[in-house]
Amino acid sequence: MSDMPLSAPELASRIDHTILKPEAGSAEVHRVATEAIQLGCASVCVAPVWVRRVATMLRDSGRHVCTVVGFPHGTSKSTVKAIEATSVVKDGADEIDVVAHLPNLLASDVDAAKAELIEIVRAARAARPDVTIKVIVESALLLKVLGPDAGAAALAASCRAVRESGCDFVKTSTGFHPAGGATVEAVRILRQHANGIGVKAAGGVRDLPTALAMLEAGADRLGMSNTVEVIESLRKRTP
């Protein structure tokens, strides 16, 4: 993977430059949004409270505004998630990363997972038909609690629910769950079962080797906060 012919702009275009720590203030959010513009990232991912301000900053920049719904635990009622999704889309979000109700995924209950996601999708797309919706499934939790075989089956079921509910991406992790973040193993499983939806790796993607390994495993998009350092590392190694 170290020989992968990927330029710094190409890598940046696959990164959601992220700042989701709850203590982040306006100056830090402004800095991250500015970095996303300068680097040419796919999006800047911020907490819902910052969406309106960041959408104004990014207007006409070619960069997308991404935010989170039901974050970080996914335990809000589906109706509440739908309301939050509608609100952030109206504030200017181009993309939303929704935390699924994890008990549904642990049980491989595709119907229940779909029912939740469909409610969110309908609400968000009523506000903006082209909004991109990614679903966080906490892949590390599924693999850790259920074991390799049952965990892989749960990830496959999660992909089916995401796909059949009309969402666009399956995403590994919030980065806040104690079970851990993205792994190459999880990304490979998600890629195998994605069948037309994108795969986003997030949580613990903090350096260039990890970022490249996730892309090689099949990730279409990366979520990370160390974007500047990772891009600089790639520039240093590129002739």
Q: What CATH number did the domain enclosing 136 receive?
A: 3.20.20.70
Contact predicate 125/85, CB 8 Å: no
Answer yes or no: is 73 within a domain.
Answer: yes
136 belongs to a structural domain: yes
- Taking the C-alpha atoms of residue 112 and residue 125, their distance in angstroms, rounded to an integer, is 20
- What is the predicted pLDDT for the residue at 3? 52
Which pLDDT score is estimated for 2? 43
Residue 140 included in any domain: yes
Paired residues of 43 in beta bridges: 16, 64
Give dist(CA 220, CA 212) in Å, integer.
Answer: 11
Look at residue 217 in the predicted model and tell me its pLDDT.
98
For position 237, what pLDDT does the model report?
84
Residues marked as catalytic: 97, 171, 200
- Is 163 a member of any domain? yes
Range of the domain at 75: 8-237
Closest by Cα among 174, 93, 166 to 127: 93
How many domains are contained in the chain?
1
Amino acid 1: pLDDT = 43
Q: Which residues pair with 237 in a beta bridge?
A: none
The answer to the question of residue 107 being in a domain is yes
Cα–Cα distance measured from residue 215 to residue 200, given in angstroms and rounded to the nearest whole number: 9
- Give the up-direction half-sphere exposure of residue 178: CA atoms within 13 A in the CB hemisphere: 1
pLDDT confidence of residue 104? 98
Q: How far apart are CA 197 and CA 188, in angstroms?
A: 14
Task: Kindly give the parts of the chain with pLDDT less than 50.
Answer: 1-2
Within a domain: residue 1? no
Within a domain: 2 = no
Spatial separation of the C-alpha atoms in residues 81 and 118, rounded to whole Å? 11
**Residue pLDDT, tens place only, 15-41:** 999 999 999 999 999 999 999 999 999
User: Residue 3: inside a domain, yes or no?
Assistant: no
